[in-house]
Amino acid sequence: MAFQVSPGVLVQEKDLTRIIPAVSTSTGAFAGQFTKGPLDEIVTVSSEQELVTTFGKPNSTNYEAWFSAANFLQYSNALRVVRVTNTSVSNATESGSTFVIKNDTDYQDNYADGNAGVGLWAARTAGAWGNNIKVSVCPSDTVYEEANKTTTNANAAVGATTITVTSSTGFSAGDIVNFGDNYEYRVTEVTDGTTIKIARKEEPAYFINTDSSGLHAAVTTGAQIRRRWQYYDLVSKKPETSSYASAISGAVEDEIHIVVVDEDGGITGTKGEVLEVYGALSKASDAKTAQGESNYYPDVILSKSNYIYWTAHNAGGTNWGTAVSTRSAASKYTDVTSVSNVSLSNGSDGSAATTGEKKQHKKNLKMLKL
């Protein structure tokens, strides 16, 4: 045994590789009502933070259930949780109709064919949280950018927030415009056929407008207006033909950009916060990435998004969802030339879960012998 004959520092090395750490072996099961997360599906949760991420925070309806689950996770890292399907619970959708997609399995079995009839998109899980979501889609190069969209029809002084144009057709709130100089502005409102309102692009995405937020420099009559998709700077280029499609069929214009946004701020706490960006996906059902993965936009959304399901193709675009091997430059994926901004609505947490609804899931959990 080492020892020292005078005061000093003794350095020792100990092999800890043979020490087995204490690991919780207690496994629990819980069925209750939550504000988000898959319905009727057993999910293993290992921490309170994971409980929040998967099933949302507690509220005045489910706080007893939520804190019961959270309390167990203070002592164990293995809790099997089922969110019960309570009365009136629904996913937020474009159409706002009452509609429930319980989980990924339910989606793939019953709704992945695009015939649900609830619009283009639905929230990933049921609950009022989905009402915060906006899905903005850039389906063509025209939507991405129009270099000479129109011209101004009257002089506008520094600080002006209202611009008179020859035609406001094709402008949408959120579009980014430029009047031939180095400044960019966000369209806040299209008021009539010849008038748009603008704010400086650096203003918050939810369009707070002040007297000082107008034009940096005066704009003269006849100035050319360049219009861009409001999220153009989040992707590397305009949607064109993917390299996969080009190698097989030529210029079929299959690419599409998708951005998911917390429009109302109820998810992140910030209005207009961008949640997810998907650039250069494909409208072709057989499209692949360079790594051999599916690049078909409904497939990518299903496998990667935490916030939305695809539920239908844009009716303005023909041939979408067909194989690229069946397309040619003469029968390409027809462009949609207007921006698609979809706000989801009518998502509901539903009424308080009944004892009977909870018991049914508890029986299923018992089958796991927990």
Pairing of strands 308-310, 121-123: antiparallel
Q: Are residues 250 and 337 in the same domain?
A: yes
278 in a structural domain: yes
Q: Are residues 253 and 325 in the same domain?
A: yes
130 in a structural domain: yes
207 in a structural domain: yes
219 in a structural domain: yes
Q: What CATH number should be reported for the domain holding residue 43? A: 3.30.1490.450
**Measured distance between the N- and C-terminal CA atoms of the chain, rounded to whole angstroms:** 50
CB environment 11-47: b (16+ within 10 A), e (fewer): eeeeeeeeeeeeeeeeebbbbbbbbbbbbbebbebee
Last residue of a domain, one of 209, 229, 249: 229
In which domain, by residue range, is 271 found?
106-140+239-343
95 in a structural domain: no
> ∠339-173-213 over CA atoms, to 5°?
140
- Residue 330: the pLDDT is 85
- Contact yes or no for 148/321 (Cβ under 8 A): no
The C-alpha atoms of residue 94 and residue 314 are separated, in whole angstroms, by 12
Q: 218: burial class by Cβ within 10 Å (0-12, 13-18, 19+)? A: middle
Which of 142, 230, 145, 152 minimizes the C-alpha distance to 194? Answer: 152
- Residue 188: the pLDDT is 92
Q: Are residues 260 and 116 in the same domain?
A: yes
Q: Are residues 338 and 355 in the same domain?
A: no
Q: Are residues 243 and 326 in the same domain?
A: yes
Which of 122, 144, 134, 125 minimizes the C-alpha distance to 83? Answer: 125
Q: What CATH number should be reported for the domain holding residue 160? A: 2.40.30
The C-alpha atoms of residue 60 and residue 262 are separated, in whole angstroms, by 23
The model's pTM is 0.86
68 in a structural domain: yes
Q: Are residues 172 and 313 in the same domain?
A: no
Q: Are residues 216 and 270 in the same domain?
A: no
Residues 6+ apart with CB under 8 A from 157: 215, 218
Q: Are residues 38 and 125 in the same domain?
A: no
- Residue 210: the pLDDT is 46
Q: Are residues 311 and 278 in the same domain?
A: yes
354 in a structural domain: yes
Q: Are residues 190 and 314 in the same domain?
A: no
Tokens of 127: 């609950």
Last residue of a domain, one of 210, 229, 248: 229
66 in a structural domain: yes
Q: Are residues 243 and 339 in the same domain?
A: yes
pLDDT per residue of the chain (370 residues) written in tens, 0 to 9: 566 677 777 777 777 666 665 555 678 888 889 999 999 999 999 999 999 999 999 988 889 889 999 999 988 888 999 999 888 999 999 988 888 999 999 999 999 999 988 999 999 999 999 999 999 999 999 999 999 888 999 999 999 999 999 999 889 899 999 998 889 999 999 999 999 999 998 765 554 444 457 999 999 999 999 999 999 999 999 999 999 999 999 899 999 999 999 999 999 999 999 999 999 999 999 999 999 999 999 999 999 999 999 999 999 999 999 999 999 888 899 888 888 899 999 999 988 767 666 665 555 555 555 5
Q: How many domains does the chain have?
A: 3
